[in-house]
Amino acid sequence: MKKFLFVLTPVIAIVVMISCSQPAEQVAPQKDQAMQDEVDSLRTVCTNSVMSISEIMNEIQRTHAKLWFAGKNQNWPLATYQVTKLKDLFTKIRTTQSGSSVASLVAMIDPSLDDMVSAVYSKNVLTFQESYKSMTSTCNSCHAATNFNFNVITIPDNPPVPDQDFKPQDQQ
C-alpha cells in the first residue's frame, strides 16, 4: 500500500499541476477575446452615434436662431455660448464628414463666423446685426454651392424654443 501511495502521490501532483496550468493558458485567450468583443461593441456604438450631416445642420439652425435672440436682447453671455457652439458644430462637420464635399465647402463660413465672434465680444448690437446678416448670407451661399439652395436661412421672427427667455437675467 505504501508503494502504491508512493507512486500515486507524484502522479496526482503532476495531474494537478498540469490541470491547473492549462486553464490559465486557456483563460487568457478567452479574456482577450472577451475584451476584444467589448472593444468591437464600443466601436460599433461610437460609429453609430456619429451625428449625420442633417442632424448637425438642424442643431446649427437652432443655435443660429438662439444666437439671434441672444444678441438682439443683448444677452452677451448667452450669445457667446451660442456662437461658440456654432463654431463647435461646424468643426464637427469637418471631422465627422471629412470625406464629403460639404466638409470642404463648410470652410466658407469661417470668415463670417469669425466676424460674428468679434461682434459678440464687442457687445455692440449694430455690429452684431450686420455680422449676423453676413453670416446668414454665407449659410445660404454654402447651401447653393452644395445644391441645397432650397433650404433658405433667414433672420428668425420667433424664438426657436418657447420656454427660453433670451433677455439677460438682470432685465427679467
Q: CB-based contacts of 70: which residues, under 8 Å, 6+ apart?
A: 76, 78, 79, 81, 82, 166
Instruction: For residue 97, give the 3-state DSSP assignment.
Output: coil
- Helices marked H in 49-163 — which ranges? 53-72, 76-96, 101-105, 110-122, 125-145
How far apart (Å, rounded) are the C-alpha atoms in residues 163 and 85? 20
**pLDDT for the residue numbered 2:** 54
Please compute the mean of the pLDDT values over residues 58-64 and round it to a whole number: 96
**pLDDT for the residue numbered 27:** 52
Please compute the mean of the pLDDT values over residues 4-12 and round it to a whole number: 54
Please compute the mean of the pLDDT values over residues 141-157 and round it to a whole number: 93
> What is the residue-averaged pLDDT of the chain?
84
**pLDDT for the residue numbered 11:** 54
How far apart (Å, rounded) are the C-alpha atoms in residues 88 and 58? 14
Instruction: For residue 141, give the 3-state DSSP assignment.
Output: helix
How far apart (Å, rounded) are the C-alpha atoms in residues 145 and 66? 25
What does pTM read for this prediction? 0.70
Residue 108 has pLDDT above 80, yes or no: yes
Least confident of 58-72, 130-144, 157-171: 157-171
Residue 41 has pLDDT above 80, yes or no: no
For residue 85, give the C-alpha cell: 457652439
For residue 71, give the C-alpha cell: 444678441
